[in-house]
Amino acid sequence: MKREKKILCLLCAAALLMLVPAGCAAGGETSGTPASDPVSASEPAPDTGKPAAGTEPAAPEDDGEGLGPGEPDDPATSGEPDETAEPDEPEPPEDPEALRGHYRFQPKVCSSYMTAVFGETMTETWFNLVDAVMAGEDTFACPDDDTYNWVMGQYRDRCFPLLVQLIDYCYERDDPVKDGVGSFVYLVPPEEAAARIGEFAALVEEILNSTLRDDYSDFEKALALYLYFSHHYVYDYESARPDVSALDYLSSYRVLTTGTGICQEFSTAYSYLLLQAGVDASTMGGHRSSDGEAHRWSYVNINGHNFHIDPTYVLDSNDSLSYFMMDDEQREFADGYSREGFVICSHYSQDHPHPDYTAEDDSFREIWGSYFVEMDHEQHLLTYVTFSEGWEEVVRTFDYSGW
């Protein structure tokens, strides 16, 4: 009954949402970027907007009416006993714990995309910094000042969002590394930092374990978290206003703890949760060709293929699948973000040139423009609803067993 009502709800709003939504400005670096890092004026500016708020009403809850009665002469539905039928074996109650994941918080995560952009040494230094924080120390092995600035500026929000709140550059900003040892300062007492790390770990584990099963494929993890964002987070239009300076507080940590944000925060938070779940993911940015608006979304690698996933555009969209597992062509078709302008991970490409990544797999073309209904993990079937030319709803299934 709930599925039928959701389909009816989608039908009522399809004429609006099947249109291509407006773009969402985004793409600037977060406040963690060191002031000494060079900034290219041609790179995307900070996030300033989002597509217009979704016009579809939320799907109503099931009213509990259930199915209607069967035909009176049907012994299976009339209430009369069928003396020839074998009694049904009672099904064991479903164990809620069997549907929960058992994911553990991983302090040290980093996307292969980020390592490709910044290099192995940078990622290794980042892991040294995380080890130091987890041990309550304030120094870490670091080869030079340049590596220090890039690690502190680029890795914290993407790879351990809470650290933006806990640590900062050392007081001697011009000389942070001495004899291969970098130092930093705590923004809170170390014992408080440890407590907050524990709270953050519990938050991440709760999101993952309540949303994902242990036996989910990377595709299922990406879809489940995509829908989680749709249902739990809202867009912060106030911070997106062009006259508001939001750089001092924008972070993926804000999304995870307050449930609100703008596209650069949503994409970073979504990619971070995927990393925690074992899926390689980072962020991608670009400018819309029609008006130059900047935007940021997630870029993932699943089964050896790159895909674009936009966790911002699914907000208020009745679980639209138009922005899930997109190839380059669909990314441009949906909003006008051309592949020629894509920038992955960092917007400082003049210092760290970006590999020429492409997303060419269109295996999910069938579901673009449709709306999620349910996922059958056991049968590897995705049920979705789309609409005919006469605006009649059509329910279909997509076999994702190869993913």
Please indicate, yes or no, whether residues 283 and 363 belong to a single structural domain of this protein: yes
Cα 392 to Cα 293: distance, rounded to the nearest angstrom = 34
Last residue of a domain, one of 192, 223, 240: 192
For residue 347, tell me if it sits in a domain.
yes
Give how far Cα 289 sits from Cα of 61, 138, 322, 335, Å.
40, 45, 19, 9
399 forms beta bridges with 381
pLDDT for the residue numbered 7? 52
Cα 263 to Cα 273: distance, rounded to the nearest angstrom = 15
- Please report which residue ranges of 162-217 form alpha helices under DSSP H: 163-166, 190-211
For residue 174, tell me if it sits in a domain.
yes
CA-based angle 107:313:32, to the nearest 5?
Answer: 40
Please indicate, yes or no, whether residues 229 and 159 belong to a single structural domain of this protein: no
Q: Taking a C-beta distance cutoff of 8 angstroms, is the pair 43, 29 a contact? A: no
Please indicate, yes or no, whether residues 184 and 219 belong to a single structural domain of this protein: no
Low-confidence ranges of the chain (pLDDT < 70): 1-98, 242-248, 347, 349-350
Q: Taking a C-beta distance cutoff of 8 angstroms, is the pair 207, 252 a contact? A: no
Please indicate, yes or no, whether residues 248 and 356 belong to a single structural domain of this protein: yes
Please indicate, yes or no, whether residues 226 and 324 belong to a single structural domain of this protein: yes
For residue 383, tell me if it sits in a domain.
no
- State the angle between helix axes of 190-211 and 120-134 in degrees (0 to 180), rounded to the nearest 10: 110
**255: its two tokens:** 């999304």
Last residue of a domain, one of 129, 159, 192: 192
Q: Which domain holds residue 280?
A: 214-367
For 304, residues 6+ apart whose C-beta sits below 8 A from its C-beta are none
Closest by CA to 372, choosing from 400, 338, 331, is 400
For residue 209, tell me if it sits in a domain.
no
H or E segment to which residue 266 belongs = helix 263-276
For residue 160, tell me if it sits in a domain.
yes
For residue 219, tell me if it sits in a domain.
yes
Please indicate, yes or no, whether residues 218 and 289 belong to a single structural domain of this protein: yes
Q: Are strands 381-387 and 393-399 parallel, antiparallel or unpaired?
A: antiparallel
**107: its two tokens:** 């302090």
- DSSP secondary structure letter of residue 62: P
Please indicate, yes or no, whether residues 171 and 220 belong to a single structural domain of this protein: no
User: How far does CA 352 lie from the centroid of its chain?
Assistant: 24
Please indicate, yes or no, whether residues 175 and 251 belong to a single structural domain of this protein: no
How many structural domains are present in the chain?
2
Q: Taking a C-beta distance cutoff of 8 angstroms, is the pair 204, 105 a contact? A: yes
HSE, CB side, 13 Å, CA atoms: give it for residue 307. Answer: 27
Cα 314 to Cα 230: distance, rounded to the nearest angstrom = 6
For residue 121, tell me if it sits in a domain.
yes
pTM for this predicted structure: 0.79
Task: Tell me the Cα Rg of the chain.
Answer: 24
Q: What's the full length of the chain, in residues?
A: 403
Please indicate, yes or no, whether residues 218 and 363 belong to a single structural domain of this protein: yes
Cα 213 to Cα 102: distance, rounded to the nearest angstrom = 8
398 forms beta bridges with 382
Please indicate, yes or no, whether residues 226 and 182 belong to a single structural domain of this protein: no
Domain of 248: which CATH number? 3.10.620
Q: What is the DSSP string of 350-390?
A: TTSPPP-------TTGGGTT-EEEEEETTTTEEEEEEE-TT
For residue 88, tell me if it sits in a domain.
no
pLDDT for the residue numbered 179? 96
CA-based angle 380:282:158, to the nearest 5?
Answer: 125
Burial of 354 (0-12, 13-18, 19+ CB in 10 A): middle
Please indicate, yes or no, whether residues 354 and 224 belong to a single structural domain of this protein: yes
pLDDT for the residue numbered 316? 84
Q: Taking a C-beta distance cutoff of 8 angstroms, is the pair 128, 135 a contact? A: no
Cα 237 to Cα 305: distance, rounded to the nearest angstrom = 33
Please indicate, yes or no, whether residues 233 and 345 belong to a single structural domain of this protein: yes
> Which tens digits make up the pLDDT trace of 280-312?
999 999 888 878 888 999 999 999 999 999 999
Strands (E), 136-269: 139-141, 167-169, 177-178, 181-186, 234-235, 260-261
